[in-house]
Amino acid sequence: MNLYKIIKYGTLSILACFIMLSFKGCKLESEIDPNNPSLEGVLQGATIPELNNIVIGTEAGMRDELQYYLDDVGAVGREMYRFSGSDPRYTADLLGKGNTPLDNNAFYTTRPWNSFYRVVKNCNILLQSVENTGAPTDQQKQAYRGYANTLKAYSLLLALNLCNDNGIRIDVADIENLGPIVSKTDALTAIANLLNDGFTQMNAVGTTLPFSSTLATNPQNPFAPPSTNAQNFARFNRALAARVAVYRGLYTDALNYLNQSFFNLNGDFLAGVYHVYSTASGDLLNLFFTAPNSTGEVRPAHPSFLSDAQAAGEGNDGRLSKILLRTSPVSSDGLTATHDVAVYKNNTSPIPIIRNEELILIYIEANIQTNAFPNAILALNRIRTSYNLLPYAGAVTQGALLTEMLKQRRYSLFIEGHRWVDMRRYNRLGELPLDRTGDNVWNCFPIPFPENEPSPCQ
């Protein structure tokens, strides 16, 4: 399915699903069938409940197919293997077995892409609907705009993380005239601009959002029920902006954004914003979770996660609790693992979007890159000593500190979608392990085949 079809039809199915399952009590306009809502019904004269249905559908869509994205970046980045009794492409294509290229029409390419752009379309519908209704106040309209631009930027960033130098589409508002695939540099600039717009808009809201959002919860209580706190959402926006800034090499900007976010050097590492799951009727489960000692469908940790910690004399690292020794090793396609990924404890475990520990690591990176080494070392030791490691005792040079920073990001953000991106942006993909002769570490995913766009990067 190409973007035209995703954007024209995909959003309605998400809206219909979550309006039916999560908002049975919300009334739509009389001419709209609530089991099959029309796009025109929300684009003209939408009520606040209808706008809020789009909000709920958007947050649900962000979780849809997320497991494929985490499998992609986790496997290519050699954090984990994905063993599947039904699909050998996880250990062939993703690991570059025998020079097998990534397939531009395979599920691991198209399903994350389609999911990201459905969210983008939901955000565009929300933006358009707000302009064509008098129901919310001007202040409330700013809340919807800030929300939509922030989540649109986040979804585009995930698409860019996969496609890298192949670029992505930014302008997809006009379904009859989609914008071109733009370069990575231009895409990052556009994403940063969307976040800045969202922040400005959210700051014009006041204190209370006209909708509830799990993304506006108190960052110090990340698993709290949905919140209407506009300031919390603005801090979430700035946290994402700090991530984008280090991706762009704008380290002073990153430090400024951290000061506007929920960054807290001495705060709870888990404080942040999460995808949340439950067993409630109509809600979603964390489909990345696989039970310990599973067979058939397995997500084992890459052996190097443990062996590299042991080789460095840091085998007592508290973050090794993120893997769990299996009762017996598991093997597939010439690969063997002894530990399962244990980051997510069950199928309702939340998955972080961004949390304070990442912000501390961004602070470390930005200070290293701006030669503020004492600040960086202080924060590095905040991470290290929290996990039973001795304070940093290596060379106080930019190169040595960057290596240490990447190491701490590897262990602190394990299986959260960062390792492959981090090693790529520091031109260190060649340091990732190859387990079989002929394997490759890819630096990008192709543009999906239905887009009819070339993918020179591979």
Domain residue spans in the chain?
Answer: 3-284+355-451, 297-341
Who has greater pLDDT, 352 or 175?
352
Please determine, for residue 170, whether its predicted confidence score (pLDDT) is greater than 50. yes
pLDDT tier, 133 (very low <50, low <70, confident <90, very high otherwise):
confident
Q: Just give the CATH number of 3-284+355-451.
A: 1.25.40.390
Q: How big is the CA angle at 148 (ends 193 and 66), to the nearest 5 degrees?
A: 100
Q: How far apart are CA 340 and CA 191, in angstroms?
A: 35
Weakest-pLDDT range from 18-22, 184-188, 343-347, 396-400: 18-22
Question: Using CA atoms, how far apart are residues 356 and 350, in angstroms rounded to an integer?
Answer: 15
First to last CA, the chain: 22
What local confidence, expressed as pLDDT, does residue 4 receive? 45
Q: What is the mean pLDDT of the chain?
A: 90
Between 34-38, 368-372, 445-449, the lowest mean confidence (pLDDT) is in 34-38
Q: Bigger pLDDT: 214 or 24? A: 214
pLDDT band at 14 (very low <50, low <70, confident <90, very high): very low
For the stretch 87-114, pLDDT in tens is: 999 999 999 998 788 999 999 999 999 9
Asked whether the predicted pLDDT for residue 70 surpasses 50, the reply is yes
Q: Which of 13-27, 52-66, 285-299, 309-323 has the lowest mean pLDDT?
A: 13-27
Q: What is the 3-state secondary structure (H, E, C) of the chain?
A: CCHHHHHHHHHHHHHHHHHHHHCCCCCCCCCCCCCCCCHHHHHCCCCHHHHHHHHHHHHHHHHCCHHHHHHHHHHHCCCECCEECCCHHHCCCCCCHHHCCCCCCCHHHHHHHHHHHHHHHHHHHHHHHHHCCCCCCHHHHHHHHHHHHHHHHHHHHHHHHHHHHHCEECCCCCCCCCCCEECHHHHHHHHHHHHHHHHHHHHCCCCEEEEEEHHHCCCCCCCCCCEEEHHHHHHHHHHHHHHHHHHCCCHHHHHHHHHCCCCCCCCCCCCEEEECCCCCCCCCCCCCCCCCCCCCEECEECCHHHHHHHHCCCCCCHHHHHEEEEEEEEEECCEEEEEEECCCCCCCCCEEEEEHHHHHHHHHHHHHHCCCHHHHHHHHHHHHHHCCCCCCCCCCCHHHHHHHHHHHHHHHCCCCCCHHHHHHHCCCHHHCCCCCCCCCCCCCCCCCHHHCCCCCCC
Q: How many CA atoms lie within 13 A of 354 on its CB side?
A: 25
Residue 296 tokens read as 């058939």
Write down the residue that tokens 């020794």 correspond to: 325
Q: Cα(386)–Cα(366) distance, rounded to whole angstroms?
A: 21
